Structure 1
Amino acid sequence: MSAHARLSPSACDRWSTCTASVALIDKLQAGGELVDRDASEWSAEGTVAHEVREMCLDFGLDPQHFVGATISADGFTYVVDDEMAEHLQPGIDWVREHTGNPHVEIRVDLSPWLPGQFGTCDTGWVEYWPGFFNALYVSDLKYGVGVPVDAVGTKQLRLYALGIWHWLGRPPVEKVVLNIDQPRAGGMKYWEISLEDLLAFGEEMKVVYAKIVSGDVEFKPSSKACRWCEVRKAPGGCPPRDRWLMEMAADACADLPNTVIPGYERQNLVGERRWLVVQHAPDIRARLAELHEESLRAALDGNPDPGSKAVAGDLGDRYFKDAKKAEALLVQALGEKAFKPKQIIGITEIEKLVKPGKRKQGHPETWEQLLTLVDRASGKPKLVDENHLKPALTPLADEFDDLD
């Protein structure tokens, strides 16, 4: 679908939170100040994955039927391989476990909640259990690997659910199951809510829409709201976001508990303040990197920021301009000493070459033996939001509290 809604489900995290961004984007688009987002190899790969999934669900095929097929998307050409087929199969199997007639790539009308707005639902259906209950399902493929997306709390899928429920004639359902199929970043993820909760969310969206239309809006930066916002790439970026990021470590939330260090006028970063900064450190680092590139570009263009200038950097790593000729000279002089010791390929590459598949023989016996030798290091502890699905780690001493 080439058309895009002004308040699209995919951008709901932005416009429903930072309501002032809608009019600003309209203004920047009208003035030609927004940078067009060129399609990338990765977005094209995602488009191909969606097309394969759609054809499988529409025509009763499996992804393996498309291995070796060449599909073009967004100006790129992609050859479907075993890896993509294996990634797509579990999600397709899950859909088929619940329905034999899914509705795929359906344009849904969101006008009852967001007048004039629409979206495209990847997959939706109603599962009927005569005498028991009916359930509405929405499944959304996200083939990207860079940004894991959680199903719990997802606004995008709730909008799709409202749209497909309306498109299906508003059937009576007991529950709504939202599924994110992200095979390369967490696999299958689910969130189950009631129809009552879904409709309550729809009422919240009505309120947001009314505020946007009336002009009762505010700039409210957040990680989710800003991640894909076009204003970030506009000349000068987004001032509210810059203030939010740069003031965060400079006592941005004076109402939170803090510790004052005697003899210092500043407040120490502890507790909630420290977590606030740590939580948004990736955003801060990314913005600092953007500012560095913008400042360097200005200097190279002959308009340096006051107090700065661009100079030649340190020389890069050395390399051979003619690698084959260099290799011949080294072999002549050093023989086998010209080469490093042999090293086996990585496990990911081994899996591609050795693991058997529906359309590749592989090396089944070798693969089974290799699996007995594979191990994985324990993951290092990491900080996440307190609402994260994984249980919190407990201090080692706590593990022995119940022992005599």
Structure 2
Amino acid sequence: MTAHARLSPSGCDRWSTCTASVALIDKLRGDGEIVDRDASEWSAEGTVAHEVREMCLAFGLDPQSFVGATISADGFTYVVDDEMAGHLQPGIDWVREHTSNPHVEIKVDLTPWLPDQFGTCDTGWLSIDIIELDTLYISDLKYGAGVSVDAIGNKQLRLYGLGMWHFLGRPRVERIVLNIDQPRAGGMKYWDITLDELLAFGEEMKAVYAKIVAGDVEFKPSHKACRWCEVRQAPGGCAPRDRWLMEMAADACPTFKLPGYEGQNLVGARRWLVVQNASDIRARLAELHEESLLAALNGKPDPGSKAVEGDLGDRRFKDTKKAEALLTAALGDKAYKPRELIGIGEIERLVKPGRKKAGHPDTWADLQKILDRPPGKPKLVPEDHQRPALVRWEDDFDDLDP
């Protein structure tokens, strides 16, 4: 096996959809046009969360045991706190409800479907039933809070499922339970599939691999395929993706004329596609604006543009303590805003009792009695989303007399 899998489970949404990206990334890497993404404080925090979860499951510990511990990852240092411990505990408890001996951070071989490829599965185990066929479980921690990850339809989890099933000796199983543990963006999410469905997916991946090896590839941009694609780091970005986004922008804005593109009517599936990718269109336009501004500041403005001094920023005091003293002397208490309660999240952190913090249990219990949460506004999601569809019928006969 190679040191880094070209067709890794984490990148499956990209390479299984936009098959031409594989060879292009290899070329750009060889030319030095792109490098590995730099680690960030957020990715380091996720690595620390994975390490704590791994040690808890491997050695029978709870996350609270690590509160106060300093752990380094990717060049950053992170101190485990009560908040992280509280986030990790429910997922760890769920694993322990189903097994006392999970396989943790296991490198799984995907060669039967993707030759010489592999992945590292967070947690997997086989639940043996003496009456029914066994169940294979896959649990993957996603500690990020910015992007919610669904279990349903998840290609990465299915590849882990194939690798774990192969690792365990290809047992006869009744079902496969795929779990995303994302405590800060939706909590525990599940998807049940059959072994036949999993193996059918494996055959699909075989076919994708064969096309990539044969060079029968295509550029096929999509939100999931492009989200973490390294081609976007290269100078000039990705031309096929830019064209795809700009065509949708042209459909949404009739005054925007795109050379060589006649446009499509924004109805039905086309309208939904534009709505789905609106955030990507806006983000790309913002990136282009920054690139154009930087070119102008460097003395090479795009034709027809130039950089000028911007409007003055918001007013602020250079010496806040001196300003406070002057205003207090002049206005007294009127110099300050009225006090307001801290947010619910901060209240929970300070008041809710925990395993290693006393909190204020009586106050927390009383607060629960008066805590309210209004229903959310309707939102658009893909049709395979786990929540049931919401339909609000308009009564065309409201204006008729009874």
- TM surpasses 0.5: yes
Partner of residue 29, structure 1: 29
Quote the offset at 1:383 in angstroms. 1.3
Amino acid at match of 1:361: A
Whole-angstrom distance in 1 between the partners of 2:105 and 2:152: 22
Whole-angstrom distance in 2 between the partners of 1:271 and 1:198: 32
Q: CA-to-partner distance for each residue in 1:299-352, whole Å, 9 max, x for gaps?
A: 111111111111111111111112112212222222222211111211111111
Quote the offset at 1:268 in angstroms. 4.3
Partner of residue 383, structure 2: 386
Distance change in 2, residues 1:337/1:305 (3 Å): same
Whole-angstrom distance in 2 between the partners of 1:20 and 1:30: 16
Amino acid at match of 1:69: A
Whole-angstrom distance in 2 between the partners of 1:17 and 1:235: 23
Whole-angstrom distance in 2 between the partners of 1:249 and 1:324: 49
Amino acid at match of 1:81: D
Partner of residue 319, structure 1: 316
Amino acid at match of 1:329: L
Partner of residue 292, structure 2: 295
Establish whether residue 158 from structure 1 lines up as the match of residue 147 from structure 2: no
Instruction: Please report the TM-score for the alignment, with normalisation by the length of structure 2.
Output: 0.93
Q: CA-to-partner distance for each residue in 1:149-174, whole Å, 9 max, x for gaps?
A: 11111110111111111111112212
Partner of residue 69, structure 2: 69
Distance change in 2, residues 1:71/1:367 (3 Å): same
Partner of residue 128, structure 1: 128
Whole-angstrom distance in 1 between the partners of 2:379 and 2:305: 38
Quote the offset at 1:269 in angstroms. 2.2
Distance change in 2, residues 1:267/1:37 (3 Å): closer
Establish whether residue 15 from structure 1 lines up as the match of residue 12 from structure 2: no
Quote the offset at 1:39 in angstroms. 0.9
Amino acid at match of 2:370: L
Whole-angstrom distance in 2 between the partners of 1:207 and 1:295: 41
Moved more, 7-16 or 203-212: 203-212
Q: CA RMSD in A?
A: 2.0
Partner of residue 341 from structure 2, selected from 326, 344, 349 = 344
Which aligned pairs between 1:1-400 and structure 2 lie closer than 5 A? 3-250=3-250, 268-397=265-394
Whole-angstrom distance in 2 between the partners of 1:267 and 1:347: 46
Amino acid at match of 2:291: E
Amino acid at match of 1:377: P
Unpaired stretches in structure 2, ≥5 consecutive residues: 253-261
Structure 1 stretches of 4+ with a deviation exceeding 3 A read 249-252, 265-268, 396-401
Q: CA-to-partner distance for each residue in 1:229-276, whole Å, 9 max, x for gaps?
A: 011121000000011111124459xxxxxxxxxxxx976422333222
Quote the offset at 1:146 in angstroms. 0.8
Secondary structure in structure 2 of the residue aligned to 1:174:
strand
Whole-angstrom distance in 2 between the partners of 1:18 and 1:288: 22
Secondary structure in structure 2 of the residue aligned to 1:372:
helix
Whole-angstrom distance in 2 between the partners of 1:308 and 1:204: 48
Give the conservation status (yes or no) of the 8 Å contact 2:126–2:137: yes
Give the conservation status (yes or no) of the 8 Å contact 2:66–2:80: yes
Partner of residue 259, structure 1: none
Paired residues, number: 389
Whole-angstrom distance in 1 between the partners of 2:377 and 2:228: 29
Amino acid at match of 1:60: G
Q: CA-to-partner distance for each residue in 1:103-143, whole Å, 9 max, x for gaps?
A: 00001111111111111000011000113211111100001
Whole-angstrom distance in 2 between the partners of 1:28 and 1:237: 11
Quote the offset at 1:295 in angstroms. 0.9
Q: CA-to-partner distance for each residue in 1:211-245, whole Å, 9 max, x for gaps?
A: 11111100000111001001112100000001111
Q: CA-to-partner distance for each residue in 1:165-205, whole Å, 9 max, x for gaps?
A: 11111122121111111111111111111111111111111
Amino acid at match of 1:97: E
Q: CA-to-partner distance for each residue in 1:19-40, whole Å, 9 max, x for gaps?
A: 0000000010011111542111
Whole-angstrom distance in 1 between the partners of 2:386 and 2:50: 27
Secondary structure in structure 2 of the residue aligned to 1:56:
helix
Give the conservation status (yes or no) of the 8 Å contact 2:132–2:174: no
Amino acid at match of 1:89: Q
Report % sequence identity.
78
Distance change in 2, residues 1:370/1:333 (3 Å): same
Whole-angstrom distance in 2 between the partners of 1:203 and 1:346: 50
